Amino acid sequence: MKTFYIETFGCQMNAHDSEKVVGTLVHEGYTQVVDEAEAGLILYNTCSIRDKAEQKVFHRLNEYKRMQGEGKKFAVIGCVAQQEGQKIFERAPYVSLVAGSASYRNLPDMLARLEAGETRITGLDDRETEETFDTDFTSRSNPHRGYITIIEGCDKFCAYCVVPYTRGKERSRTSASVLAEAQRIAGLGYTEIQLLGQNVNSYRDPSGKRSFAELMVAVGEINGIERVRFTTSHPRDFTKDIVDAIDATPTLCNHVHLPVQSGSTNVLRAMQREYTREWYLERIAWTHAAKRDISLTSDIIVGFPGETDQDFEDTITLLEAVKYDSIFGFKYSPRPNTPAIHMHDSISEEVKAERLAILNTRQREIQREHYARHLNQVDRVMVEGGRNSRGQVLGRSMQNKTVNFTCETTPTVGSYVDVKITQVFPSSLVGEAVSEAIAPSAALLAQQALNARVVVLS
């Protein structure tokens, strides 16, 4: 029997890539195991976004070394594979396959060569491709959310970011192919779909039929679909019709993740983000003026080369102007191949840490105030987990907020329940069920049972 074990790090795109890789392997006759000791093939899907990620990968590969005598084969895939390429074979000679995400559509061929005994197989030369990794064999491991990649790669080349080098050129799928996959997911019983892309709203339909906003609406109109999410949006391509579509289509989630990175126009220029603070705030004004309460979240980097105290202060005042519902804050970390690696990393680790702490503290205060708007609201929640130690069930609101709620009987994962919010915390809501649970379809329960063994995220 051909068996494999997969470990995955990184963003949602990587997690979903692994769902497709698992599906491809299963289609090629492999069985997934959850214990690496039982696996004939070990795959490691890597991320290189920050913090010397490649060192961590080599460290992990060193741990694999002790298993090499057991006849196992090793594959390193994803962003560190693309970034380090042949160097992986030099440092870890027991690895037989190294492939970046732009080459995954060639996996069946690479697997055949692996099985034939080849030991230096690479998929590293496809970053200029126009093709996307479309497959009918995705193993969906999420029990309540179906992911669809609509655009791969990135052409933005922000000064700090590895993604254009690791994931290659921007390329969109046709809207017909996206809609066919969305229909298939709805047929499996999923009621929630998340559209994915490094810059999801840079989507350009190669067939010219639909804009990004029109595609979202078309997905939201599919029979059985209750929620459409999309991530990550880039401010450059954030157009007013996206806000109008959210306002007009109740199935589109009223949440936009719109990373600003910095509140200072000077730093934004150095980062090559190609927008100013004012330009960004104009887009935010559209969402603030919307009929629905659109929740905003962001990513922020502190300590980019040359960031002054005043620049950092501009980021803090931007937080206050926008009122995000959550942010991911990062200390700038120099990455190989990026233009910023040639800039002097001028901010000390100590100052970076200090700025990050100030950022997070201020943001927490903002959330503490801003979450109060939910008190006494009734929110529809999708159940995502069982009861916690307080006996509360875990669910998520349309805006992607965590809601812990009490109810008499425990609803199944994938059910919907109306919950009255009785308490607010800075990053979660607490409430009580005020409706019966709407249970997931038999199709979704069958799908959950089928994929219970599929483990994607480590």
Give the whole-angstrom CA distance, residue 297 versus residue 367. Answer: 11
Q: Is 279 left (phi over 0), alpha (psi -120 to 50) or beta?
A: alpha
14 binds, among ligand SF4, ligand 5AD, none (CB under 5 to 8 A by kind): ligand SF4
DSSP structural state of residue 261: B
For ligand 5AD, the closer of residues 261 and 287 by Cβ is 261
Token pair of 309, please?
């105290």
Residue 301 interacting with ligand 5AD (CB under 6 A): yes
For ligand 5AD, the closer of residues 201 and 415 by Cβ is 201
Residue 49 interacting with ligand 5AD (CB under 6 A): yes
47 binds, among ligand 5AD, ligand SF4, none (CB under 5 to 8 A by kind): ligand SF4
- The residues that bridge with 419 in the sheet, in sequence order, are 379, 433
For ligand 5AD, the closer of residues 213 and 301 by Cβ is 301
Residue 56 interacting with ligand 5AD (CB under 6 A): no
Residue 161 is labelled as binding a ligand = yes
259 binds, among ligand SF4, ligand 5AD, none (CB under 5 to 8 A by kind): ligand 5AD
Residue 48 C-beta: closest distance to ligand 5AD, Å: 9
79 binds, among ligand 5AD, ligand SF4, none (CB under 5 to 8 A by kind): ligand SF4
321 contacts 281 by C-beta, under 8 angstroms: yes
Determine the length of the chain: 458
**What is the per-residue DSSP string for 58-123?**
HHHHHHHHTTGGGT-EEEEEEHHHHHHTTHHHHH-TTEEEEE-GGGGGGHHHHHHHHHTT-S-EEE
Residue 253 is labelled as binding a ligand = no
Of 316, 297, 322, 235, nearest in space to 271 by CA: 235
The residue type found at 379 is D
Residue 381 interacting with ligand 5AD (CB under 6 A): no
Residue 296 C-beta: closest distance to ligand SF4, Å: 20
Residue 405 interacting with ligand 5AD (CB under 6 A): no
Give the whole-angstrom CA distance, residue 262 versus residue 273. Answer: 10
Interface with ligand 5AD: number of residues (CB under 6 A) = 12
Q: Where are the alpha helices (DSSP H) in 9-106?
A: 12-27, 53-65, 79-84, 87-91
Residue 7 C-beta: closest distance to ligand SF4, Å: 13
For ligand 5AD, the closer of residues 200 and 393 by Cβ is 200
Residue 154 is labelled as binding a ligand = yes
3-state DSSP call for residue 146? strand
Query: Regarding beta strands 393-397 and 378-387, do their DSSP bridges make them parallel or antiparallel, or are they unpaired?
Result: antiparallel
347 binds, among ligand SF4, ligand 5AD, none (CB under 5 to 8 A by kind): none
For ligand SF4, the closer of residues 18 and 249 by Cβ is 18
Q: Which residues bind ligand SF4 (CB under 6 A)?
A: 10-11, 13-14, 47-49, 78-79, 162-163, 166-167
- What sign results for the dihedral spanned by CA atoms 212, 218, 222, 224? positive
For ligand SF4, the closer of residues 51 and 131 by Cβ is 51
In the window 105-164, what residues touch ligand 5AD (CB under 6 A)? 160-161
Of 82, 238, 270, 84, nearest in space to 166 by CA: 82
Give the whole-angstrom CA distance, residue 99 versus residue 154. Answer: 18
Give the whole-angstrom CA distance, residue 173 versus residue 202. Answer: 12
Give the whole-angstrom CA distance, residue 117 versus residue 340. Answer: 41
Give the whole-angstrom CA distance, residue 328 versus residue 341. Answer: 22
Residue 268 interacting with ligand 5AD (CB under 6 A): no
Residue 60 C-beta: closest distance to ligand SF4, Å: 15
For ligand 5AD, the closer of residues 36 and 299 by Cβ is 299
Beta strands in 280-434 (DSSP E): 295-302, 326-331, 378-387, 393-397, 402-406, 416-424, 429-433
129 binds, among ligand SF4, ligand 5AD, none (CB under 5 to 8 A by kind): none
Binding site listing: 11, 47, 79, 154, 158, 161
Residues of the shown chain interacting with ligand 5AD in the complex, contacts defined by CB under 6 A: 49-50, 160-161, 259, 261, 299, 301, 330, 332-333, 335
Binding site listing for [4Fe-4S] cluster: 11, 47, 79, 154, 158, 161
